[in-house]
Amino acid sequence: MSLQMNQSLSVDCAVFGFDGKVLKVLLIERRYWKPDGRLDRLKLPGAMILENETLPEAAYRVLKEATGLENVYLRQLEIFSDPQRVSGEELAWINRYHGIRTERVVTVSYYALVKLDPHTVAFTTAAGAQWVEVESIQHLAMDHKQILAAALSSLCREMLQSPVAFELLPRKFTIRQLQDLYAAVLGIEIDNRNFRKKILSSGFLTPTREKEHGVAHKPAQYYTFNRSAYKRAVREKLRLGFINNWKY
Shortest CB 243 distance to its own copies, Å: 6
Q: Does 170 bind its own copies (CB under 8 A)?
A: no
Shortest CB 58 distance to its own copies, Å: 8
| Given 182, 222, 223, 225, the residue binding its own copies (CB under 8 A) | 182
Shortest CB 182 distance to its own copies, Å: 7
Q: Which is nearer to its own copies, 202 or 208 (CB)?
A: 202
190 — phi, psi (to 5°)? -125, 135
Q: Does 9 bind its own copies (CB under 8 A)?
A: yes
Closest CA to 152 of 11, 12, 16, 10: 16
Q: Does 104 bind its own copies (CB under 8 A)?
A: yes
* Count of residues near its own copies by CB under 8 A: 43
**In one letter, which amino acid is 157?**
R
Q: Which is nearer to its own copies, 70 or 248 (CB)?
A: 248
Q: Which is nearer to its own copies, 132 or 183 (CB)?
A: 183
Q: Which is nearer to its own copies, 123 or 230 (CB)?
A: 230
| Given 71, 136, 138, 161, the residue binding its own copies (CB under 8 A) | 161
Q: Which is nearer to its own copies, 16 or 204 (CB)?
A: 204
Shortest CB 238 distance to its own copies, Å: 9
DSSP-assigned letters across all residues of 180-235: HHHHHHHT----HHHHHHHHHHTT-EEEEEEE--S-SSPPPEEEEE-HHHHHHHHH
For the segment 35-74, give every residue that binds its own copies (CB under 8 A): 49, 51-56
Q: How far apart are CA 20 and CA 96, in angstroms?
A: 39
Maximum pairwise Cα distance, the chain = 68
- For residue 40, the 8-state DSSP code is -
Q: Does 135 bind its own copies (CB under 8 A)?
A: no
Q: Which is nearer to its own copies, 93 or 166 (CB)?
A: 166
**In one letter, which amino acid is 65?**
E
158 — phi, psi (to 5°)? -60, -40
Q: How far apart are CA 174 and CA 172, in angstroms?
A: 7
**What are the E-state strand segments in 19-150?**
23-29, 42-43, 46-50, 73-80, 106-113, 130-133
Interface residues with its own copies (CB under 8 A) are 6-9, 49, 51-56, 76, 79, 81-83, 103-104, 106, 108, 159-163, 182, 188-191, 194-195, 198-199, 202, 241-248
